[in-house]
Amino acid sequence: MKPFLYITQKNCPVLWMAITASPTTLVFDKEERSLNMKCFNHRDADAVGVCQSCHRGLCVDCYAEVGNLLACRNRCEEDVARWDFIAQKSVTAYSANYKIYLWTSVFLVVVALPFVVVGSFAMLNEPSSGIVALFIGFVFLLFSLVLFRTARKMR
């Protein structure tokens, strides 16, 4: 059975965490529109989905869509909306984090450059202070590289 949302731990770890931490599992199958389950309210009707808040099976008449999630109509919509809100928020926070990592990495290169340039020239006349400047420059570059790689993994 294919899940309703194609979110995996790999392609979207934060959202994945938010969803799995919520008291829900996405089991609504869009293609087959059926589950081996009956509606909680109408025992003879097939469930087409499961409420994301209380896990009751829901038939076509009983479900409400809240964002990308399903809820019992007139009962759990508010609860599910809250989860959907958290999920949306974490997507935004996630891309903000990505940008912070990337820009900090760029910033560190800018900070490192004068140390490397000045350090290289100082090596000619005053190697003892030149090596210190070069060392500081390379430490900044190393941090920059680590942040850049972290940012790229988040993509």
| Nearest alpha carbon to residue 15 among 99, 111, 85, 100 | 85
Among 48, 66, 72, 108, binds Zn ion (CB under 5 A): 72
According to the binding rule CB under 5 A, does residue 59 interact with Zn ion? yes
Rule CB under 5 A: say whether 62 interacts with Zn ion: yes
Under DSSP, the state recorded for 46 is: B
Query: Does 47 contact Zn ion by CB under 5 A?
Result: no
CA distance 150 to 138: 18
**Window contacting Zn ion (CB under 5 A); options: 4-12, 15-23, 52-60, 133-141:** 52-60
CB of 12 to Zn ion, least distance (A): 25
CA angle, 67 then 70 then 72, to 5°: 125
Q: What is the distance between the alpha carbons of residues 109 and 118, in angstroms, rounded to a whole number?
A: 14
For residue 102 the two structure tokens come to 């990337």
Q: Strand, coil or helix: what is 42?
A: coil
Q: Is 81 in the site for Zn ion (CB under 5 A)?
A: no
* Cβ 88 to Zn ion shortest distance, Å: 20
Backbone phi and psi for residue 71, each to the nearest 5 degrees, phi listed first? -145, 160
Q: Of 39, 69, 112, 133, which one interacts with Zn ion (CB under 5 A)?
A: 39
- Answer for which of 41, 88, 90, 97 binds Zn ion (CB under 5 A) is 41
Stretch that binds Zn ion, among 2-10, 20-28, 34-42, 96-104 (CB under 5 A): 34-42
Q: Name the residue with tokens 């760029």.
A: 106
Sites of contact with Zn ion (CB under 5 A)? 39, 41-42, 51, 53-54, 59, 61-62, 72, 76
